[in-house]
Copies of this chain bind each other. A is one copy, B any other.
Amino acid sequence: MADSTVFRASTTAPVNIAVIKYWGKRDATLNLPTNSSLSVTLSQRSLRTVTTASCSASYPASEGDTLTLNGSLQDISSSKRTLACLASLRVLRNELESANPSLPALSTYPLRIVSENNFPTAAGLASSAAGFAALVRAIANLYELPQSPTELSRIARQGSGSACRSLQGGYVAWRSGTKEDGSDSIAEEIAPASHWPEMRALILVVSAEKKDVPSTEGMQTTVKTSPLFATRAERIVPGRMTAIETAIHNRDFPAFADLTMRDSNNFHACCLDSEPPIFYLNDVSRAAIRLVNDINHVAGKTVAAYTFDAGPNAVIYYLDDVSEIVAGTFKAILGEGLDGWEGPFGDRLKGVSAGADLQKLDSRAIEALKHGISRVILTGVGEGPEKVDTHLVSETGAILKSGQ
């Protein structure tokens, strides 16, 4: 009779938002990128995924590995990316078991994985990075793997490219690498959150529009059809990677901001140069860009930087000490009533209802933003995955609700 012990491990994982963008794969199966990228890990006090990995000899083999995401069972049998992660982690566990036969043979047990995001899917935030980071981290914990976050990033990358950057906190570089097997395509923390803890991120969530081109599909289109793209990947990004790492080491916000904005525009330019053209920025995004530029102009220095992923939402980076002129201005435009001004980073803005003189900002951009933003998320740089003791699977293997 099978041992009924249920082995469990749980972790949180953060979202990350790139400042030097990942766009384009040199190998679609291994998720190897055409260029390096760099991101800021966002605080899990605002946005996080919680995942419990469990396994047991008592789980019916007929069910195989299962993944329940936000309460609904996923069909992972058709998800090559998930299967690749699970297989790689099992290989590592199996190595441990082979070296030490006294260990329980967890690599042979079915996995029961339960994952929940604390942010609404309606927010339009790519949850796959946090999701795959949490999945890999939770199973690595369950399997008691000795590998470092950087070593595990090779595995998370196969789930979702940008997931490899969510295994660490602070400021994280994903090196594209050059090897065909992807072994040097890994993420490394170039500075912890504590190095530059004042970094804030204000996410302006654009009211739901039509569905965007999925990023994997968009990347393939760009790589195949954009005659400008090779210049970006080969000649522009490498210098920007070096420059932004220097800016982060020196805590040089104007340089960081300048590179961030230029790289966002450069990435979206390559999308537009694709055939058919890919548009992620809409008129509301354009208004946000205009207002960030206007705020910097009014401030007389670069105090804010916009960046856009594969969607219209603006992410605006700034430092805590300029909260009033940056976040305060957006709060004055969007209204205190909008969802999202409260929360872990909200105290700093309590009572702040105006930043820059709105008369000095583009009035059409203000109108476009007022009508086009459905909520904000006020957050900042944060830590990597954290082990937690609150499991989403019971001691007997039952799936629990997180109660979030």
Within 8 Å CB of A226, what residues of B? 269
Copies in the complex: 2
A285 to chain B, nearest CB (A): 9
Q: Are A210 and B273 in contact (CB under 8 A)?
A: no
Chain A interface residue bracket vs B: 20 to 34
Give the residue of B227, B274, B277 whose beta carbon is less than 8 angstroms from that of A231.
B227
> In whole angstroms, what is the CA distance A209 to B286 when docked?
13
Minimal beta-carbon separation of A290 from chain B (angstroms) = 9
Please state if B286 and A265 are interface contacts (CB–CB under 8 Å): no
Q: Cβ of A262 and Cβ of B283 under 8 Å apart?
A: no
A270 at interface by CB-CB < 8 Å:
yes
Q: Once the chains bind, are B210 and A364 in contact (CB under 8 Å)? A: yes
CB-nearest residue of chain B relative to A284?
B283
In the bound complex, residues from chain B placing their C-beta under 8 Å from that of A227 are 231, 235-236, 262, 266
Name the residue of chain B whose CB is nearest to the CB of A231. Answer: B231
Q: Determine whether A357 belongs to the interface, using a CB cutoff of 8 Å to chain B.
A: no
Q: Which of A255-291 contact B (CB under 8 A)?
A: 258, 261-262, 265-266, 268-270, 272-277, 279, 282-283, 286, 289
Residues 227-267 of chain A, each 1 if its beta carbon lies under 8 Å from chain B, else 0: 11001100110000000000000000000001001100110
Known pairs A228-B228, A228-B232, A269-B270; A279 contacts B286 (CB<8 A): yes
Q: Find chain B residues with CB under 8 A from A231 CB.
A: 227-228, 231
Tell whether A141 is near chain B: CB-to-CB under 8 Å.
no
**Chain B CB within 8 A of A293 CB:** yes
Taking A210-B364, A231-B227, A236-B227 as contacts, is the C-beta distance between A273 and B282 under 8 angstroms?
no
Write out, one digit per residue, whether chain A residues 301-315 have a CB within 8 A of any chain B CB (1) or not (0): 000000000000000
Q: Smallest CB–CB gap between A301 and chain B, Å?
A: 15
Q: Specify which chain B residues have a CB less than 8 angstroms from the CB of A286 in the assembled complex.
A: 279, 282
> A250 CB to closest chain B CB, in angstroms?
21
Q: Are B269 and A272 interface neighbours, CB within 8 A?
A: yes
Residues of A near any B CB (own CB < 8 A): 209-210, 226-228, 231-232, 235-236, 258, 261-262, 265-266, 268-270, 272-277, 279, 282-283, 286, 289, 293, 362, 364
17 residue pairs bridging A and B, Cβ less than 8 Å apart: A210-B364, A227-B231, A227-B262, A227-B266, A228-B228, A228-B231, A228-B270, A231-B231, A265-B273, A265-B274, A265-B275, A266-B273, A268-B272, A269-B272, A276-B293, A279-B286, A283-B283
Query: With A228-B270, A262-B275, A265-B274 given, can you name 16 additional A-B contacts, CB distance below 8 Å?
Result: A209-B364, A227-B235, A227-B236, A228-B231, A228-B236, A228-B266, A258-B275, A265-B272, A265-B275, A266-B273, A269-B269, A269-B272, A272-B272, A276-B293, A277-B289, A279-B286
